[in-house]
Structure 1
Amino acid sequence: MTPGRRSSTFTRLLRHGFTDPSAAERLLDCPELIPVRDDPVLLEALGGTADPDLALHGLVRLLEAQDGPTAHRELLDTLIAAKPLRDRLLGVLGASTALADHLARHPGDWQALVTYEPHDLHPGLTEFERGLEAATDPVSLRIAYRRCLLSIAARDVCGTTEMADTAAELADLATATLRAALTIAEAAAPEDAAACRLAVIAMGKCGGHELNYVSDVDVIFVAESAEDTSEAKALRSATRLASHLMRICSESTVEGSIWPVDANLRPEGRNGPLVRTLSSHLAYYQRWAKTWEFQALLKARPVAGDTDLGRAYIDALEPLVWQAAERDNFVTDVQKMRRRVVENIPAAEVERELKLGPGGLRDVEFAVQLLQLVHGRTDASLRSGTTLDALQALAAGGYVGREDTARLDEAYRFLRSMEHRIQLYRLRRTHLVPEAESDLRRLGRSLGLRTDPVAELHREWKRHTGVVRRLHEKLFYRPLLDAVAQLAPGETRLSPEAARERLVALGYADPAAALRHLEALASGVTRKAAIQRTLLPVLLGWFAESADPDAGLLNFRKVSDALGKTPWYLRLLRDEGAAAENLARVLSAGRLAPDLLMRAPEAVALLGDGTGMGAGMGTGTSAGSGRGLAPRDRAHLEQEVLAAAGRAENVEQGVAAARGVRRRELFRTAAADIVSSYGTETSPAEADQGALVDRVGAAVSDLTAATLAGTLRAVVRDGWGDTLPTRFAIIGMGRFGGHELGYGSDADVLFVHEPRDGVPEQEAATAAGKVVTEMRRLLQLPSSDPPLLIDADLRPEGKSGPLARTLKSYEAYYRRWSLVWESQALLRAEPVAGDEDLGRRFTALIDPLRYPLHGLGEDAVREIRRLKARMESERLPRGADPKLHTKLGPGGLSDVEWTVQLLQLRHGWHLPGLRTTRTREALSAACEAGLLSVEDTETLDEAWVLATRVRNAVMLVRGRAGDTFPTEPRELAAVGRYLGYGAGHAGDMLDAYRRTTRRARAVVDELFYGDGVRAGAGSGG
């Protein structure tokens, strides 16, 4: 060939889409391919394939495999003369190396593509059974299967059939193959075939008539006895037949395998028998089946074996499928399973996962199935096992908007087409989009993208996954708004009954009230209503994930009613990242945070940017001091409270200002705690529960200290001007002194004063007493702000003693009358407000009592043990379950704290690390000093943190303090949600609590009551 001719061919090949025209030229120079090279129609046909280079190479292999010159010539002549064959054969060769391999092994099978009659365009089960009927062994069945697959692929790549038809044909071919495999198995064991009636039920995509090119074929086997055969014998025979059928389809030979038959969707999965009777299936589904198993049965379809038995199986189980939506936590279970699927995708593959990744095929399928199960109970038109048919039925019934249906249908078809072409290339089971440029180019061209195949493919793929990512809000919640907003009367929308059904399935206990709230929020043509219609679909989903969706929606309506005309409110929720999700979590987590918010709705601005107690953030508004949900330190809090009290006109206003700051900061702390515990889409749940407990305790303790400081300032200024006749300090005790206050904790304190120079002691004592009395009164005045109870019962002489004493009086009392329990109580004493120098001197006074020189004697140890036993027996509420009492129960707060405090009393004088008011710090110091093993330390710490979190959770959920788990189911579920347990797992939570505290009690028995403490005492003496 001349250089000019070669250059011309080279150019033509480039123009026709060949990426390696030099190699193509060399192939075309072979004498056998001169007709191809010289025929512009053939070159153009090659250029029209997904990969012209691959198609040409496959054609060369096929021509070389022909049996002699006559067959070779016949193939070429037919290619040149018959456009249908040309397009089909070259299309397959350009899209699938696996089918090219099959044609090279079986060169006469190209004849299967010649026929072009109407019935050949859309073959059904009958045609495929005819194509497999000659197969009498596994190898011949594989060859016949590939021959049928070749014709399906040819119609697919040529566009003769569209995606849904291709998927249905693949399912019909699978059905014919299962029937043929069962026939072969029965022929191999006629005695087994005679002993039983066996039916094969297709599940998954095969059952739904929407199979992939390469996919496991999911099945369930059901059997009954034949006449005069025992059930046991029939099941053994049926199991052998089913196992043989699976081997025929799954085993690999030189002809490859057909596909794996997967029976793991059967009752009990891999652990259950392969074959069951119908009654056994029914008993399992009635008693033990999980929600996902009913979801899987949506696609169940008898495909092989005994037709009557297969139909009886469907008839028996179908009613259970349509009752599944009535199960507790139905939607939560389905959504949780979907999340688990995504979480199990390797991180490196998640963005390439076409099926399981976010915005992938499974998202469409799960959403459609969920809506089918919800509404199919009363609407039989929705009971299709085919995704696209079901989607169209949902649209026809008004359950999904038609525009949304069209976009989802388009996205699903495109993504399934991608999946088909990816699998067709090598006939391998994969859902990963390839990374190589050549693979992406072939994939894009196979989908009709020819200008810039790779860029166009990426663009279309991302566009469609973006549509699917938004399907959840569209499919589940948008129709609810359309049902109440009444903006487009001509459109089909959910009936009131259907809307109520959907709300009930999503966990709303009062759907009628929920619909009223939605109507109030979203109806109308105002800008406010328009923004609400944008926000509510997402918010409704977040509410539905909580233990009390009704409370979340009601609280959101209340906040919106209060702030709806505030210009920044809806803009904040729409534009500020996590603000809307944070608000949804907070409003549906219990009573405390919403109650605090309702008293000052402008605090919603704190939810603006960022998501937890450790984050610093700004809101972009002036509502509320501080930055987002990050807790503020004591110095800043005290500065704000003192300034607010100083600006007030009278003492009541000054203390009201202090209580207002406390309310806002309690909301900030509670909201941060909820967000960190529950996690959001932008921030996962807090991993270190101990650190979260510490931050809550520190934040509430600092806030209480600042509130007392401001109240003290206001009372002193009102009664005495700038200077009180006596120096005055407040000493925090108990959890307050230990920086461990919970949301509902009282402030345990001691009051100490010291007369100023020249002031009579009686005058000073009178002034100090008035200060204490007034502070207690003002902090408990009825108002919209939560009260703060001051408890001074740990003072000398308890309730019989004066509320405030001088430093000298404390010194005299402790020197003469102090008991061992008072030394123990003083371990948590720390100055929190008032005169700092006086507070330091009080601390110096009590240090010898709480860290006694040479530790404690055995009599003191016995007294502490006696006091603890008495406290548990006298204070544990009647009827309470001791094992679930967070404070006094075994392994609870009291057990851990008294054990730690006994170690402090014994060893604090010579181990400075133990001289702390904080329980966890003291535990850590004891471990570092060798007083506790690492394992025992971790056991006690885990129990203390868990018990503290339960108390915080109870307060957040119920709005009032409690030391035991709630008994009301929704409240218990909300506590579980806070602790990280999903819906329906309250029992697991209680079991975990008992397990954790039981381990802690074993350590306490050794350290507090047993030899552990005595041994420690000896080492410390």
Structure 2
Amino acid sequence: MAATGTPPGGRRGELGAYARAGFQSLSTARDGIAELASLLGDADRASLLEGLAVAADPDSALSLLLRLAETHADQLSGLDAFAWRRLCIVVGASPALGSFLLRHPDLIAGLTARDGWLPSGEEAREQLLGAVTGDNGGLAGEEGWNALRVKYRELLTAVSLYDLLSAGSHEDLPDARPAFEVVAAALSGLADAALEAAIVVGRATLLAGDSTAQVTEESLEELRFSIIAMGKCGAEELNVVSDVDVMFIAEGDERAATALAREVMRAIHHPSLELPLWQVDANLRPEGRQGPLVRTLESMMRYYDRWAKAWEFQALIKARPCAGDIALGDEFVALTRPLVWASANREDFVGSVQRMRERVTEHISTDELPYQIKLGPGGLRDIEFSVQLLQLVHGQHDEHLQLRGTLPALRALVEDGYVARHDGERLSEDYRTLRVLEHRLQLRELRRTALMPRDEEGLRVLARASGLARSASELQELWERVRRDVRELHLKIFYAPLLSAVAALPDEEFVLGSAEARARLSSIGFMDPDGASRHLAALASGPSRSAKILRNLTPVLLQWLAEGTDPDFGLLAFRKVSEANRNSSWYLRLLRDGSLAAERLTKLLANSKFAAGLLESHPEGVAWLERDALLVPPDPAALLSEMRSLVSRRSSSRSAAERLRGVHRREILRLAMGRVVGVLDEEGVARGLDGAHTALLDALLIAIRAHYSGEADPPEIALIGMGRFGGGELGFASDIDLVAVARGGATSSGPVSPAARMITELRALVSDPRFPVDLDFDLRPEGKNGPLVRSLESYRSYYERWSVTWEAQALLRARHAAGDTSLSAEFFVMADPIRYPAVFGEDQLREVRRIKARVEGERLPQGQDPGMHLKLGPGGISDVEWLVQLLQLQHGAEHPELRTVSTIEALTAAAELEFITPEDAETLEEAWRFASTLRSAMRLWNGRVSDTLPRDWRDLAGIAGVLGYQGGSTTELVERWHSVSRRARAVFEREFFGYREDELFPEVQA
């Protein structure tokens, strides 16, 4: 380079030139270039600066070039402007490759003399094999490893330079994306060649005796050994730095094959003088790390025929022989291909694929998700997953889709009509964008990474290296736009072919079935694709405006339904709701314009049979999903006023009851919807249920009195809430426990008293065929054997003469529910001394403990695991309530704070009064609340009442879906219950029965 003076423009102009070149530390850059020019024989500083201006990171490039000039100035001083520019491009984008050239400066001239050279697979193989072949055959041990790695990195530098030149300088920004496929293929060919060379080194190492394995020359000569490339290498779309997934197949001496495979891996990634290249990962082999490293072809096929899981066939999509005995590898691929394309027919195919994907994403920290190019939402995984699943679903019928690479497969999906052309082109472009960013990030330090930089400087360097943006902010905007685009297309393209099939075929043909449509439905999780096809045809076929709107909406609706626990039921329920609202213009407008309402509706229908059933009788309830406020229960007084108004306009108690039950169902539906979509918590549900039940009972009593046909006036009646109803702690699975008190007409003389007839009529009128409501009067004196209703005097006489401790205990949660409030007040004046006794002695304490033990022994269902019983099992609802009620019986008379019908309020008061520690109170409350939540969730999921946590995976998944747990959280659900119940039981046994810690856990004391 010719000598020259300082760049023109003066001192200030000179610093401006460094700023325009992209330097961040201007003074340091000026001094560094001056020093570099001096080291290179007073070289032209303007030319040096011009070359560094094209570097992605001029500051780090200058630093590295200074180090190079200090020790190898002769290698740099002879470079012309053409070569200098290329050297700056390489070291500016990859300090790691710069360090490699620092170790091997003799390679600089040859690498920078070409104007972009992309070695073919054959050229790479020839050069790498030449590097590891000595005078007497292959180079053994570390000599071979280092020769292989130096030549590989030399070729990698050539490929990287070609790739970087496709992006051009940061000024004119030519697009690097069109070159992605040829660059990725070259990287794959380079990996193939490295593995081929590693086989040569491995054989030489074994023959030289440099390995711990003892094998004979004869066994190696007779050995057929093939390496199967998997993953991105198999698809010929490898990253700059990535694990190279492989499987080893051999025919011959098993020990020799295993030893050779180990030596191949050591040659690539074992520590040595020259740094490892990448990890050779053989964990995709049958049985993973637990399985043998090498298998015969027969052993491979036996495994895939009998034991392989769906994800293992999915992995085989990209399998191809890449090194060693190619014919043996081809035979393996040919034998496994039919299994791959038939794998979509396997039981639970989609479920297994989805669970595999979830397991991958579960390991990503929340902090990393917004920066994940590969695994985050809108990242490469979304594209690859969509393409691969479409291939598996349709590839069994369409051989054109049986391709390894993502982009070739996407092009085939477009050409064969599975993906709209515009969508496919956008997705291809986004895929290239993400891959170029990933390559540039990995190239910098030659390490595996897929995380976007979080700092502005990192983004600035990446923008310059990729040629995709002019600044950090512009690159950030591009990244966000691509992520949104990929996420949108991921949702859309996967369902578009199904929509086309639905729209194009008349109902008769669709019922008979399009194989592609059925396969698509099955692949996304529908268990009955034929039934789902019929529902879709009914919804979306025809020229009507509503059918057209539903056709446009169905892709996303199907996606949301498929994310629920039972998409088949959800789609059927959606069809029923849509047909019921067919003539309501607001319905389709709500779905089309209110994405929140549409998503909530699909979540509701696919996760709650209970709510879906109620929605059938009140389909206009869909409108509530648009606003949270509409899912909150109304004020109890307003609801009672509405129901009383209905009674006043009806000619009979029966007609009034029918309308009242409809309003009651409406409010239960509102509560169920609010709970499933997450607007209401359990406490909000309890308040809403209490308001709905008490309003219904009160209004029904008014209707019965208004249409009473007896000779005298109807007796006054008060309904006293008991149990969880009395405590205001209802869930969807709770009974409505009551006792009835009457004033007048309640004597037991005669066949049936007027009051008893009124209560019998109440039970008949409350019965709803669409929504069972059962009034339980079994907590009355003498239980089922006692009269259904008593006068206040009869209650007083009974409690004074005959009542036992458990009846006093039952009164602890008694409160007014409906009817005559003054009569209820008189009842509580009589009941308070009984439920809050002035003296509660040892005899009563023993009696309570005896009854609790008897309940545990007699009422738990035979043959069931007590640990799964939420109510009566160890640490369940009963344990918590009995302990709290015991404290109320013992101390309620003295401490008014304990005189509450609420279990949680009483537990809090007991802790404040130091009858129990705050820590124990927290443990008990957690168990009680979680058990109550699980019982409600079971009812919401399948519409059935159960006190036992199910063992069936689908039911557990349904409960998890209602509670908003992430998919696959069934184990977490059960484990949490066992954990909280175990701790609650320990507290209960210590505080209720008086057991000491060493009696509860003797092994701990030991």
TM-score by length of 1: 0.82
Pick from 373, 398, 416 the counterpart of residue 379 of structure 1: 398
- Tell me the alpha carbon deviations over residues 427-452 of structure 1, each in whole angstroms, 9 at most, x when there is no partner: 232222234545434433444457x4
Q: Among 708, 714, 734, which residue is 2:703 paired with?
A: 714
Q: Give matches, 1:707-786, under 5 Å.
A: 707-719=696-708, 727-743=716-732, 745-754=734-743, 768-769=755-756, 771-780=758-767, 786=771
1:259 aligns with 2:248: no
- Counterpart check, 1:98 vs 2:96: yes
Q: Is the 8 A contact 2:600 2:625 kept in 1?
A: yes
For residue 731 of structure 1, report the CA deviation from its aligned partner.
0.2
Whichever residue aligns with residue 499 of structure 2, its letter is L
- 1:332 touches 1:545 (CA, 8 Å); kept in 2? no
Q: Work out which of the residue numbers 654, 657, 660 in structure 2 matches 1:655.
A: 657
Aligned partners of 1:865 and 1:1009 also within 8 Å: no
Distance 1:438 1:918, change over 3 A: closer
Q: Please name the residue that 2:193 is paired with.
A: 176
Corresponding letter in the other structure for 1:714: A
**Counterpart in 2 of 1:822?**
807
Of the three residues 853, 856, 876, the one matched with 2:838 is: 853
Q: Which residue matches 1:1019? A: none
Confirm whether residue 834 of structure 1 aligns to residue 853 of structure 2: no
- Pick from 124, 127, 134: which aligns with 1:127? 124
Partner Cα distance (1:895, 1:19) in 2:
71
1:920–1:413 Cα change, 3 Å? same
1:592-625 per-residue CA deviation (whole Å, 9 max, x = no partner) reads 211111111111122223xxxxxxx3xxxxxxxx
Q: CA deviation at 1:501?
A: 0.7
DSSP-derived class of the 1:628 partner:
helix
Q: Is the 8 A contact 2:611 2:673 kept in 1?
A: yes
Show the counterpart of 1:75. 79
Q: Give ranges in structure 1 of 5+ residues lacking alignment.
A: 489-493, 610-616, 618-626, 677-682, 687-691, 1016-1021
Counterparts in 2 of 1:255 and 1:776: CA distance versus 1, 3 Å = same
The amino acid of 2:100's aligned partner reads: H
> Superposed, which structure 2 residues align to 1:29-428 within 5 Å?
30=38, 32=40, 50=56, 68=74, 74-76=78-80, 79=81, 88-113=86-111, 121=118, 123-135=120-132, 136=139, 137=143, 138-159=145-166, 162-190=179-207, 191-192=214-215, 194=217, 195=219, 197=223, 198-222=225-249, 225-226=252-253, 231=254, 234=255, 238-252=257-271, 255-267=274-286, 269-270=288-289, 274-275=293-294, 291-307=310-326, 309-311=328-330, 313-315=332-334, 317-428=336-447
What secondary structure sits across from 2:245 in the alignment?
A: strand
Which deviates more from structure 2 when the two are superposed, residues 274-283 or residues 299-308?
A: 274-283
Instruction: Quote the Cα distance in structure 1 between the aligned partners of 2:443 and 2:966.
Output: 40
Q: How far does residue 773 in structure 1 lie from its aligned partner after superposition?
A: 3.7
Structure 1 residue 544, shift from structure 2 partner: 1.3
CA contact (8 A) 1:939 1:999 kept: yes
* Alpha-carbon distance in 2 for matches of 1:145, 1:606: 64
Q: CA offsets per residue over residues 743-802 of structure 1, 9 Å max, x none?
A: 35442211223359xx99999x966445434433322266xx535333333333445544
Deviations 1:193-242 (A, max 9, x none): 7556554333322222111112222333455552xxxx5xx1xx555544
User: Greater shift after overlay, 326-335 or 398-407?
Assistant: 326-335
1:952 maps to a residue whose letter is S
Q: Which runs of 5+ in 2 are unaligned?
A: 133-138, 167-175, 208-213, 507-511, 1000-1006
8 Å Cα contact 1:473-1:537 kept in structure 2: yes
For residues 501-520 of structure 1, the aligned pairs below 5 Å read 501-520=519-538
- Contact kept? 1:940, 1:1000, Cα under 8 Å: yes
2:587 pairs, out of 562, 569, 584, with 569
Normalised TM-score (structure 2): 0.83
Structure 1 window deviating more from structure 2 (331-340 vs 467-476): it is 331-340
CA separation of 1:852 and 1:319: change in aligned 2, threshold 3 A: farther
Residues in 2 aligned to 1:67 and 1:142: alpha-carbon distance in whole angstroms: 25
Considering only aligned residues, what root-mean-square deviation do their CA atoms show, in Å?
Answer: 4.4
1:832-887 CA-to-partner distances (Å, cap 9, x unmatched) read 123333323312311222233322553784587368737964x6678877665555
Which is further off, 426-435 or 339-348?
339-348
Per-residue Cα deviation, 1:959-988 (whole angstroms, up to 9, x for no partner): 343445679885565345446777778788
Structure 1 825/443 Cα, relative in aligned 2: closer, same or farther at 3 Å?
closer
Cα pair 1:531 1:570 within 8 Å, conserved = yes
Kindly tell me: are residues 533 and 871 of structure 1, through their superposed partners in 2, closer, same or farther at Cα, counting changes over 3 Å? same
Equivalent position SS for 1:220: strand
1:148 Cα deviation (Å)? Answer: 0.5
Range moving further from structure 2, 498-507 or 57-66: 57-66
Amino acid at match of 2:522: V
For the 8 Å contact 1:444–1:454, the answer to whether it is kept is yes
Change (3 A) 1:997 1:523: same
Q: What is the alpha-carbon distance in structure 2 between the residues aligned to residue 285 and residue 1000 of structure 1?
A: 48
Aligned partner of 2:603 in structure 1 is: 585
Q: Contact 1:142 / 1:255 at 8 angstroms: preserved in 2?
A: yes
Deviations 1:326-358 (A, max 9, x none): 444433443344345445434443322222222
Correspondent of 1:634 among 636, 641, 644: 636
Q: By how many angstroms is 1:413 displaced?
A: 0.5
The answer (yes or no) to whether the contact 2:871–2:947 under 8 Å persists in 1 is yes
Structure 1 residues 473 and 908: alpha-carbon distance in aligned structure 2, compared to 1, 3 A threshold: same
Residue type of the partner of 1:917?
V
Partner of 2:673: 671
Hey, what's the Cα distance between the residues in 1 that align with 2:50 and 2:73?
A: 27
How far residue 999 of structure 1 moved from its aligned partner, in angstroms, is 7.4
Q: Is the 8 A contact 2:87 2:112 kept in 1?
A: no
- TM-superposed CA distance for 1:908, in Å, is 4.0
Give the percent of matched residue pairs that are identical in Structure 1 and Structure 2.
45
CA distance in structure 2 between the aligned counterparts of 1:669 and 1:891, rounded to whole angstroms: 28
CA distance in 2, matches of 1:428, 1:917: 64
Q: Give the secondary-structure state (helix, strand or coil) at the position aligned to 1:133.
A: helix
Distance in 2, matches of 1:426 and 1:870, equals 68
Name the CA shift for 1:920/1:446 in 2 (closer, same or farther; >3 Å). Answer: same
Rounded to whole Å, the distance in 2 between the matches of 1:435 and 1:987 is 35
1:548 to 562, 566, 588: 566
Q: Any residues of structure 2 matched to 1:690-705 within 5 Å, and which?
A: 692-705=681-694
Amino acid of the residue matched to residue 144 of structure 1?
Answer: K
Relative distance call for 1:878 and 1:34 in structure 2 (3 A) is closer
Residue 793 in 1 paired to residue 778 in 2?
yes
Q: Distance in 2 between matches of 1:193 and 1:837?
A: 102
Aligned to 2:1004: none
Number of corresponding residues: 953
Alpha-carbon distance, 1:664 to partner: 1.4
1:870–1:189 Cα change, 3 Å: closer
Q: Is the 8 A contact 2:805 2:844 kept in 1?
A: no
CA separation in 1, counterparts of 2:856 and 2:103?
A: 87
Q: Which residue of 2 aligns with 1:607?
A: 625
